[in-house]
Amino acid sequence: MNKFMNRAVELAAENVREGGQPFGAVLVKNDEMIAEGVNELHKKFDVSGHAELLAIRRAQEQLHTNDLSGYTMYASGEPCPMCFTAMYFAGIRDVYYCASVEDAVDAGLGTSKMIYEDLKVPNRERKLSMKQMPLDEGQEDPVKLWKDRV
């Protein structure tokens, strides 16, 4: 295991000892650690407070950019769909992890597997009900406003 994955696992273990979940993440570029994070759900009562997201937020704030192309994420556990999506949006293309989603399920942390499965089915069949609503007549369309701006 390399030094960055060792650090992610170390952060995860420390987080468990402090009452949190077993997830740590380290964001790297050019063999240099840029940011790290642990799941902080137990501290902040914020369901988006995942290790990978916190590492991304810290790096973007520090570097004043949304583009993390060329960065690599090391995570103690396989990223959940939310973190996976954030990494896509940030431009991260390389992710290494230790514990799989199945390992998380075995430990009682199995929400990610259910979400990954739910994303495979059409919207109308998902557990989370999603219904599109049209704009009111005459209402300004933010998407059109954006399109006209660029």
Say what the pLDDT of residue 111 is. Answer: 85
Overall fold of domain 3-148: Cytidine Deaminase; domain 2 (3.40.140)
pLDDT for residue 150: 74
**pTM here?**
0.90
Closest by CA position to 74, among listed 141, 12, 144: 12
Q: Where are the domains of the chain?
A: 3-148
Look at residue 130 in the predicted model and tell me its pLDDT: 86
| pLDDT at site 112 | 87
Q: Which residues are catalytic?
A: 52
How confident is the prediction along the chain (150 residues), in pLDDT tens digits per residue? 799 999 999 999 999 999 999 999 999 999 999 999 999 988 989 999 999 999 999 999 999 999 999 999 999 999 999 999 999 999 999 999 999 999 999 998 878 889 999 999 998 899 998 888 999 999 999 999 999 997
Phi, psi of 24, rounded to the nearest 5 degrees: -135, 155
- List Cβ<8 Å contacts ≥24 apart for 35-39: 35/59, 35/62, 36/7, 36/8, 36/11, 37/11, 38/11, 38/12, 38/14, 39/15
